[in-house]
Amino acid sequence: MVAPSLCMAFKGTLPSDLWLKYSVEGGRMLMEMDLIVAAEINDKISEATQNAKKGDAKGAVARRDQRREQRKLLSNNNELLDLLRESGVPSVGDPKSSGADE
């Protein structure tokens, strides 16, 4: 019953891969270490999903407002780009500064 939990924790790992890995000398210690890591991964996933479920409306509103502020900052960069264009500084991938209209 070790293979299913390890295959779930380490996506893309086949049971035959585990057999080849753990059937050598010292394989038991490797398996125990991998099981500890798999258990920690499972704990972190459980913790994250519980925290996400516990999220209150105030937290969701705060995150939404934070994303809005970040978008405003990004849109303010457009003003900087306009200033650079006006000063004649060429920018990569900008059709307005490609020099095609000269």
Whether residue 42 contacts residue 9, with contact meaning beta carbons closer than 8 Å, is answered with: yes
Whether residue 7 contacts residue 13, with contact meaning beta carbons closer than 8 Å, is answered with: yes
CA 99 to mean position of chain CA atoms:
39
Query: pTM, whole model, 2 decimals?
Result: 0.44
Q: What is the pLDDT of residue 102?
A: 46
pLDDT tens digits for 17-47?
888 888 889 888 888 888 888 888 888 888 8
Give the chain's end-to-end CA distance (angstroms, integer): 72
The rounded distance, in Å, linking the Cα atoms of 31 and 20 is: 11
The rounded distance, in Å, linking the Cα atoms of 28 and 25 is: 8
